[in-house]
Copies of this chain bind each other. A is one copy, B any other.
């Protein structure tokens, strides 16, 4: 579906025009390669076994990325909200089938760009390459942080970190998903919340 400028989030426009100083022409040209895609709540954007062939910007909504173990249990690696870029990163770059599930937690509106189009644009407009290099660095930071957190912090500390980063997460993400992300049982999370809220 074609994308109208008025439908883009202010953050998306600012990233290109203000932060990265693209010209209006460059921006319109870049946007012309994006396609809008809706993913209703509980539907999958990507499943293990598929190849991740595009990058998607979350214009509206939230997603969860998880893996599944041999017993069919889900393990949530992260949540993504507005202004995040999503993909199965390794599958996108290697062209091999991915191992991650990415599912809409709320109704989502995505702005998607194919790998092919992005590579073409990055050759034409080198500044675009810089933008995604910055995104890539941020991704490394947040993945290392998440690994550090999982290895180092107690469940309570991980909980406090999460609500510091996303104060409204309990209004948007079901409790059982947050519990999975924190690696604790849902009843323990409920007790933890109650205990900390009465402090």
Is A14 engaged at the interface, CB distance under 8 Å to the other chain?
no
Contact assessment for B143 and A89 in the assembled complex, using a CB-CB cutoff below 8 Å: no
Contact assessment for B139 and A77 in the assembled complex, using a CB-CB cutoff below 8 Å: no
Report the Cα distance A77→B93, complex, angstroms: 24
Given the known interface contacts A139-B140, A141-B89, the answer about A183 and B151 at a Cβ–Cβ threshold of 8 Å is: yes
Report the Cα distance A136→B90, complex, angstroms: 12
Is A150 engaged at the interface, CB distance under 8 Å to the other chain?
yes
Residues of B within 8 A of A133 (CB): 133
Contact assessment for A140 and B141 in the assembled complex, using a CB-CB cutoff below 8 Å: no
Contact assessment for A77 and B148 in the assembled complex, using a CB-CB cutoff below 8 Å: yes
Interface size classification for chain A: 20 to 34
Contact assessment for A143 and B136 in the assembled complex, using a CB-CB cutoff below 8 Å: no
Given the known interface contacts A69-B153, A133-B133, A136-B136, the answer about A90 and B141 at a Cβ–Cβ threshold of 8 Å is: yes
Q: Which 10 A-B pairs have the closest CB atoms?
A: A75-B151, A75-B152, A143-B143, A147-B147, A67-B152, A90-B141, A69-B152, A67-B148, A150-B150, A140-B140
19 A-B pairs in the complex with CB atoms less than 8 angstroms apart: A67-B148, A68-B152, A75-B148, A75-B152, A77-B144, A77-B148, A90-B140, A90-B141, A90-B144, A133-B133, A136-B136, A136-B137, A136-B140, A139-B140, A140-B140, A140-B143, A143-B143, A143-B144, A143-B147
